[in-house]
Amino acid sequence: MQHLVTAHERRYGILKVRISEKHLFPQLAQRARIKVLIEKDELELLYDPNYNRLRGLGPWYKRRNVEAGDSVQIDNVGDKVRVRL
């Protein structure tokens, strides 16, 4: 699923999970660390289902020069969420 990164997401290193993307994420009652595949790395990032935010993407945004308006792909790989350009 395509996701356009906003200036707010880029600035704070988050991904705001839209309603149409929620089915790709674990159904949790409270925030927790989930397994996320980013390129060849498997990371545990903080997912907050109450605010629909995935936190901890700042270093990846910087390393890959992701800017506001860029598109990232979000999908499932088994029980993990994959985020890629």
Answer for the pair 81, 25: CB distance below 8 angstroms, yes or no. Answer: yes
- pLDDT attached to residue 40: 85
pLDDT of residue 15: 97
pLDDT tier for residue 63 given thresholds of 50, 70 and 90: very high
**Which residue range(s) make up the domain with 36?**
2-84
SS3 25: coil
* 72: its two tokens: 């990232």
Which one-letter amino acid corresponds to residue 37? L
How many domains, the chain?
A: 1
Q: Cα separation of 7 and 59, whole Å?
A: 15
Q: What pLDDT digit, counting tens, does each position of 26-52 carry?
A: 999 999 999 999 988 999 999 999 999
Write the CATH number for 58: 2.40.330.10
Please give the model's pTM, rounded to 2 decimal places: 0.91
Residue 53: φ, ψ to 5°: -130, 140
